[in-house]
Structure 1
Amino acid sequence: MAQTIIKKPVISEKSISQGAVSKYTFWVDSGASKPVIADAVSKLFKVTVREVNIINQQGKLKQFKRIAAKRSNRKKAIVTLKAGDRIGLFEENKS
């Protein structure tokens, strides 16, 4: 069930730099709550979650030729881990 809650990590310059202070960002299921997200991250990555912040991102209006369409709404979770815990997905390669 944890794989259905956590959709994928947000890989951006900002999210990678936040990994240095044990904050990791994920796209999550739109119906997931903070305790469910914390439980899913701790089970998937074997880490201790200290805090979860949620951002609901509204879908943008886009126009394709003469047809106006709206992208889907998404939910982003910023997960803060206990000091010393790391998730390997977000480590920068310095080679």
Structure 2
Amino acid sequence: MSIFNKFKKIAGPEGKPKTTSKSVVKEKKAEAVEPAEVKPEKRTGATSTGTKAKISDTAWRILKNPRVSEKSALLTEANQYVFNVFPKANKIEIKRAVEKLYNVTVERVRVINIPPKKRRLGRTEGFRKGLKTGYRKAIVALKKGQTIDIMPH
């Protein structure tokens, strides 16, 4: 039964619990080594993390890619650009991401959710993973005179 007594605290003559020999050795070692004084770090300049800094880190997550199609080419003439975006992104996040990445002023953002196409096999109906999956796209209108070069020449 000595295995189980190893972890128990044994009461001494004064009623205080005794500690086992291993813990006494650890306490003596801890007392022998005096910790050196740690100086607090001084900040030379205050750095503020504003929304611009957070957006620059997450802008690539919000905008997946520009959507190149016949309709988006026609909208480009009207100073509107189409992007595939992250499904949970809202209009404000999309606006900030486009402004930060392309250095333009966004006037309006419209968002369209395209549902996935359903497939059937007998009675069962559902969605296939890679075939006609749903997505979310954003149509971004820019200020007059500003353009985005989506297709580099």
Name the TM tier (shorter chain): 0.7 to 0.9
Query: What is residue 65 of structure 2 aligned with on the other side?
Result: 8
Identity %: 37
* Alignment pair present for 1:79 and 2:144: no
Query: What is residue 150 of structure 2 aligned with on the other side?
Result: 89
CA separation in 2, counterparts of 1:90 and 1:37? Answer: 20
AA partner of residue 83 (structure 2):
F
AA partner of residue 15 (structure 1):
S
User: What is the CA deviation profile of residues 2-58 of structure 1, one whole-angstrom value per residue up to 9, with x for unaligned ones?
Assistant: 011000111001101110111000010011000000000000111000000000110
Structure 1's unaligned 5+ residue stretches are none
* Alignment pair present for 1:47 and 2:108: no
- CA root-mean-square deviation: 2.0
**Offset, 1:74:** 1.2
Structure 2's unaligned 5+ residue stretches are 1-57
Q: TM-score, normalised by structure 1?
A: 0.84
CA separation in 1, counterparts of 2:71 and 2:133? Answer: 23
AA partner of residue 89 (structure 1):
I
Larger strand fraction of residues: 1
Q: Tell which has more relative contact order, 1 or 2 (C-alpha 8 A, sep 6+).
A: 1
- The higher radius of gyration belongs to 2
Q: TM-score, normalised by structure 2?
A: 0.54
Matched-pair contact (CA < 8 Å) for 1:62–1:68 = yes
Runs in 1 of length 4+ with deviation above 2 angstroms?
A: none
Matched-pair contact (CA < 8 Å) for 1:41–1:47 = yes
SS of aligned partner of 1:41: helix
AA partner of residue 135 (structure 2):
R
